[in-house]
Structure 1
Amino acid sequence: MSFGIVYFLCTLLVANGDILEACPPHSNSSEFVALILARGGSKGIPRKNLAPIGRVSLLARAIQTIQRANVFNEIWVSTDDDEISNEAIRYGAFSHIRPESVSSDTATSIEAVQEFIGKHEDVKKVALFQCTSVFLREEYVRKAFEESQNVECIFSVTRSHKLRWKEVDGLIVPDNFNPEKRLRRQDWKGEMVEAGMVYVAERHVLEKGRFQSNKCRVIEIAVGDSMEIDTLFDLEVARCLIGF
């Protein structure tokens, strides 16, 4: 059966409200896939992954950005929610229906990814994108794909030049600088702070319950692009910046 016919049948099923595990992939290149985790039970912002922003949902915005980068043959959305599943398929992604055991408030992202690769034995590497990272850009998607070719893992970071303090035995002491030789911004490279926008890891790293090993590289993203939608305030700010 040709992909065109399969896609047409998938579209009909979505239009009728039927849920698919996934439409069959349009190529046999499924060893390295893009994955978005999008469960339906968000508490901070109900139905967060479907929240409209820039005239489409957060989920659709992420799928479209990955598609425009034109490096992944397959984009998967792992969800426990019928409406999210339909939204994924509507925008050209494949839907993976995950069980309740990895969809609760206490379930971790790595557990959901492990469940996904457990059901897709052909997948050797996963690029996990967070649709609540609203300023995901095509250039970051391409970097994640290209720079991970010869390493076990890639993850996104921002660069911080903030001077940090900590409390030790009731005293406030400097944590990352010498107060007698305070560094100017231009005098040091700053610190890398993990950002949740993208994680790429080979299967054997993920199977160990990790996104990173000691053989990783990083993608440095602009601080202004690192915003994550966790609260209603974040959502309203993003809408102001992007347009509702």
Structure 2
Amino acid sequence: MAIIPARGGSQGIPMKNLQRVGGQSLLARAILSARATRLVTDVVVSTDHPRIRQEAERFGAAVIDRPEELSGCVASSESALLHALNNITAGSGTSADPDVTILLQCTSPFIDAHALDAAVERVLKGTADTVFSAAPNHNFLWKDNEGAATAVGHDAGHRPRRQDREPQYRETGAFYVMRTSGLRTHKHRFFGAIGMQPVPEETAIEIDSPTDLDVAHVLAKSGRTDWAIEVDALVTDFDGVHTDDHALVDADGTEHVRVSRRDGMGVARLRAAGVPQLILSTEANPVVTARATKLKIEVRQNLEDKAAALQAWLAGRQLDPARVAYVGNDVNDLAAMGSVGWPIAVADADPAVLAAARVVLTASGGSGAVREASERVLAARTASPTAPSTGNNLQSVPGRPVRTTV
């Protein structure tokens, strides 16, 4: 069970846990990281704030209301964990605890699901009682003793090269994986055999100040290793992907929608690169036809079964579904998303769609999501225009939920 303490109060950044990085709130990113693992079975958010409760439920987490006495800045994280465990077991009518409890902190926006899985596995196998995330550090550390500098952990008279020094490890604060019985006994996160789970330094930022948040914004945009989407065709829903999922209706019942000109440029760039594109829409609406005509791409409307329509289109073009992307935003897109190798969700998609996505875009529907998807497809073709690399062995597994935002 992953438990995410997320109180509403924050001294450095107001409502810090709801601040957005890479198109998602810090809380959402933590929830999605937990859900992207193989071994985490339950995700619980402990909070004292209604907006945080709403966000947690939107992304499919269970919520425990934290009492006021455990919500102040001096309350320990362990008190929140134990309170959540007590209330979860009481609410389920069973006294059975999870084998492993994870303290997951949403102040770490780049939690690696694979590293978290590895830490959980070590506790499950009994090779450690507690495992925490740690980043390697080769810095020379000093402390100030009333104006006199004293070396910490090294000899000031000996300055070996970085590659000749054993790293020290910095606790990142992202996750702490504990055997639940030990947490119950010691009421603290460190006990028994303690292990470290190394994580890359570049992912180990922790949000404590506005400056940290600014750095995270930059890393989310420019420090990404998952930019390219290696596909041969791009298929999109219309409402909520090309639009912001709102409509203006005049007195005659005519609908007007808002679209992004940036999306039009992305579509045009894909078309120039020879990438087939298709819009699928449940509704039959002239505005969809008009937009598709302007974009010069194919459209299928009035569909009861988007997945069937998609499969027919792919068969007609002899396209491999494993190398096709589908961008959706709501539950009626799930079947189509599950039939291709690259299911993609816009940033403001339904939680079920976010959970099913291999890629979650940073842009919301109607605000450049299609442009972002187009640029990422083009990025893959630019990197290897004749034979795109497979990237990893998950590429040909339709619907595999690899969340590249987290």
The answer to whether structure 1 residue 134 and structure 2 residue 109 are counterparts is: yes
Aligned equivalents of 1:211 and 1:92: distance in 2?
A: 26
Q: Which residue of 2 aligns with 1:146?
A: 121
> Which residue of 1 is the match for residue 292 of structure 2?
none
Q: 2:3 aligns with which of 32, 35, 40?
A: 35
Q: Which runs of 5+ in 2 are unaligned?
A: 90-94, 222-361, 363-406
CA distance in 1, matches of 2:190, 2:213: 29
> SS state of the match for residue 158, structure 1?
strand
Q: Letter of the 1:141 partner, please give it.
A: L
Instruction: Find out whether 1:240 has 2:218 as its counterpart.
Output: yes
Aligned residue number for residue 58 of structure 2: 90
2:205 pairs with 1:227:
yes
C-alpha displacement of 1:102: 0.6
Distance 1:46 1:169 in 2: 35
Determine helix, strand or coil for the equivalent of 1:240: helix
Deviation at 1:168, TM superposition (A): 4.5
State the structure with bigger RCO (CA 8 A, min sep 6), 1 or 2: 1
Match for residue 53 of structure 1 among 21, 37, 46: 21
Distance in 1 between the 2:139 and 2:145 partners?
A: 19
Q: Whole-Å Cα distance in 2 between the matches of residues 165 and 50 of structure 1?
A: 35
Q: 3-state DSSP class of the match of 1:172?
A: strand
Task: Give the corresponding residue for 1:198.
Answer: 175
The alignment yields a C-alpha RMSD, in angstroms, of 1.8
Output aligned runs, 1:69-80, within 5 Å. Answer: 69-80=37-48
Task: Classify 1:168/1:84 alpha carbon distance in 2 versus 1 (closer, same or farther; 3 Å).
Answer: closer
Provide the C-alpha distance between the structure 2 equivalents of 1:130 and 1:173, rounded to a whole number of angstroms.
33
Q: TM-score, normalised by structure 1?
A: 0.80
Q: Alpha-carbon deviations, 1:125-154, whole Å to 9, x = none?
A: 211111110111221221122122112111
Instruction: Indicate if the aligned counterparts of 2:100 and 2:120 stay in contact, CA closer than 8 A.
Output: no
Cα contact 2:132–2:176 (8 A) shared by 1: yes
**Aligned partners of 2:20 and 2:193: how far apart in 1?**
38
Tell me the TM-score normalized by structure 2: 0.49
SS in 2 for 1:200: strand
Cα shift at 1:93: 1.0
Aligned equivalents of 2:208 and 2:152: distance in 1?
Answer: 28
Would you say the 8 A contact 1:62–1:134 is kept in 2? yes
Instruction: Give the counterpart of 1:104 among 48, 54, 72.
Output: 72
CA contact (8 A) 2:47 2:63 kept: yes
Q: What is the Cα deviation at residue 95 of structure 1?
A: 0.7
* Identity between Structure 1 and Structure 2 (%): 33
Alignment partner of 1:209 is 2:177: no
Q: Which amino acid letter does the alignment assign opposite residue 32 of structure 2?
A: Q
Q: Is the contact between residue 127 and residue 144 of structure 1 (CA under 8 Å) also seen in structure 2? A: no
- Aligned equivalents of 2:146, 2:36: Cα separation in 1: 52
Distance 2:58 2:144 in 1: 51
What SS does the aligned partner of 2:173 have? strand
Is 1:179 the counterpart of 2:170? The answer is no
How has the CA–CA distance of structure 1 residues 166 and 42 changed in structure 2, closer, same or farther, with 3 Å as cutoff? closer
The structure with the larger Rg is 2
Match of 2:300 in 1: none
Query: How far apart, CA to CA, are the structure 2 residues paired with 1:167 and 1:62?
Result: 36
Which ranges in structure 1 are unaligned for 5 or more consecutive residues?
1-32
Displacement after TM superposition at 1:170 (Å) = 5.3
- DSSP-derived class of the 1:199 partner: strand
Q: Deviations over 1:162-186 (max 9, x none)?
A: 1122345753232222233322222
Which residue identity is paired with 1:143? Answer: A
Inter-partner Cα distance in structure 1 for 2:149 and 2:208: 30
AA paired with 1:162?
N
Name the amino acid aligned to 1:57: S
When structure 1 is superposed on structure 2, of 57-66 and 164-173 the one drifting more is 164-173
Distance 2:62 2:134 in 1: 28
1:71–1:186 Cα change, 3 Å: same
DSSP 3-state at the match of 2:36: helix
Q: Which amino acid aligns with 1:56?
A: Q
Higher mean displacement: 158-167 or 101-110: 158-167
**1:218 aligned residue (196, 201, 211):** 196
Could you tell me how far apart the structure 2 residues matched to 1:37 and 1:62 are?
11
